[in-house]
C-alpha cells in the first residue's frame, strides 16, 4: 500500500500540466493516506482490546477467597436493583455479568486468581444507601467505594478516596487523613458508577529492598479525575505494616455492606 501511495504521488507530479488531473491525483493520495491511518488506528485498537483481561465474563471463575478456592456466598446476576422494602439492601436476578456479594449483602472478600503489578483497571459498581466497599490493588492499596453522594468536602473514607492508615486495636481508628478525592464525583446510591485506575507497583532491588513507592498514576471516578500522580509510602488501612510486594492479586471488599460489580477488566502495563 505504501508503494501505491508513492506511485500515485509520482503520477500526480507527471500530471502538473493538467490542473484537474493534478487535483485528482492529490485527492486520491490523500484518500489512500487516510485509509492507511484508519488501518493503523484499527490495528492499535484491536491490540489494546486483546490486552484486556475480562474478570467477569466467566462468572466467578477468575476469583477466589484469599486463602481458599471457594467464593463463599457471592452470586452471579443478570440484573441488580435497590430493594423496594429496604433502600440499604440490594435485590438481584440470576443471570450473567454481575457479581454480587450475596443475599445478605455481607460476605468474605475475594481476590483474583492471577497476580498483577503495574496494571490498568476498569470496573463498574452499584451500592445501596449507606453501603461501603473498596477495591485494593495488590490487596494492599485501597480506593474506597462508599455512598458519598452530595458530600461537599469528601474525606479519604468517601468514594474515590485512598483509604487512611489505621489500627484495629484497642478499637479501629485512623492514623492519618489518607488521601481524599480532589472532588466529589460520586453518584447517588442505586446508580451504576465507574472506576478507572492506573497503578504502578512498588519497586525492589536484587536484595528485596524497596527502591520506589507504589503509585496511583490516575484514579478516575465517573469520568472525573480524583487522584493523579499519588505516591504511597505504605499500604492503606490496617495493612500499612504489611510487607509490600511487586505483584499480588486484586481484592474486592465484601464485608462492609451490599455491593455489585460488573465489567471488571484489567491489563498489565508494559
Dump pLDDT digits (tens) for 175-226: 999 999 999 999 999 999 999 999 999 999 999 999 999 999 999 999 999 9
Q: What is the pLDDT of residue 20?
A: 63
What is the average per-residue pLDDT within 148-173? 94
Say yes or no to pLDDT of 5 above 50: no
In terms of pLDDT, which residue wins out, 134 or 68? 134
Q: Are residues 122 and 25 in the same domain?
A: no
3 state DSSP class of 89 = coil
The alpha helices in the chain, defined as continuous H runs, are 2-14, 19-51
Q: Which of 12, 31, 51 is the last residue of a domain?
A: 51
Q: Which of 33, 51, 69 delimits the end of a domain?
A: 51
pLDDT one-digit tens code per residue, 11-25: 444 445 566 666 656
pLDDT at position 72 is: 75
The structure's pTM equals 0.81
Structural domains counted in the chain: 2
- Whether 39 has a pLDDT exceeding 80, the answer reads no
Whole-number Å distance between alpha carbons of 160 and 17 = 65
Q: pLDDT tier at 67 (50, 70, 90 boundaries)?
A: confident
Whether 106 and 119 map to the same domain: the answer is yes
Domain holding 206, by residue range, is: 55-268
Which of 137, 132, 95 lies closest to 112, judged by CA? 137
Task: Let me know whether 125 and 185 are in one domain.
Answer: yes
Amino acid at each position: 500500500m505504501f508503494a501505491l501511495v508513492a506511485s500515485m504521488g509520482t503520477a500526480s507530479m507527471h500530471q502538473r500540466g493538467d490542473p484537474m488531473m493534478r487535483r485528482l491525483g492529490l485527492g486520491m493520495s490523500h484518500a489512500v493516506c487516510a485509509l492507511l491511518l484508519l488501518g493503523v488506528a484499527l490495528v492499535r485498537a484491536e491490540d489494546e482490546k486483546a490486552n484486556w483481561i475480562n474478570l467477569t465474563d466467566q462468572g466467578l471463575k477468575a476469583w477466589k477467597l484469599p486463602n481458599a478456592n471457594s467464593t463463599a456466598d457471592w452470586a452471579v446476576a443478570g440484573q441488580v436493583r435497590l430493594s423496594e422494602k429496604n433502600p440499604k439492601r440490594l435485590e438481584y436476578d440470576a443471570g450473567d455479568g454481575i457479581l454480587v456479594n450475596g443475599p445478605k449483602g455481607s460476605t468474605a472478600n475475594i481476590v483474583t486468581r492471577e497476580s498483577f503489578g503495574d496494571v490498568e483497571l476498569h470496573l463498574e459498581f452499584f451500592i445501596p444507601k449507606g453501603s461501603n466497599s473498596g477495591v485494593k490493588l495488590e490487596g494492599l492499596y485501597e480506593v474506597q467505594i462508599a455512598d458519598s453522594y452530595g458530600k461537599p468536602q469528601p474525606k479519604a473514607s468517601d468514594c474515590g478516596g485512598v483509604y487512611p492508615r489505621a489500627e484495629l486495636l484497642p478499637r479501629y481508628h485512623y492514623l492519618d487523613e489518607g488521601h481524599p478525592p480532589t472532588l466529589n464525583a460520586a453518584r447517588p446510591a442505586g446508580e451504576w458508577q465507574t472506576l478507572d485506575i492506573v497503578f504502578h507497583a512498588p519497586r525492589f532491588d536484587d536484595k528485596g529492598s524497596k527502591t520506589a513507592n507504589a503509585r496511583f498514576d490516575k484514579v478516575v471516578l465517573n469520568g472525573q479525575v480524583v487522584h493523579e500522580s499519588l505516591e504511597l509510602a505504605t499500604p492503606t488501612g490496617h495493612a500499612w505494616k504489611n510487607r509490600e510486594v511487586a505483584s499480588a492479586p486484586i481484592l474486592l471488599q465484601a464485608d462492609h455492606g451490599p455491593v455489585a460489580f460488573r465489567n471488571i477488566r484489567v491489563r498489565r502495563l508494559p
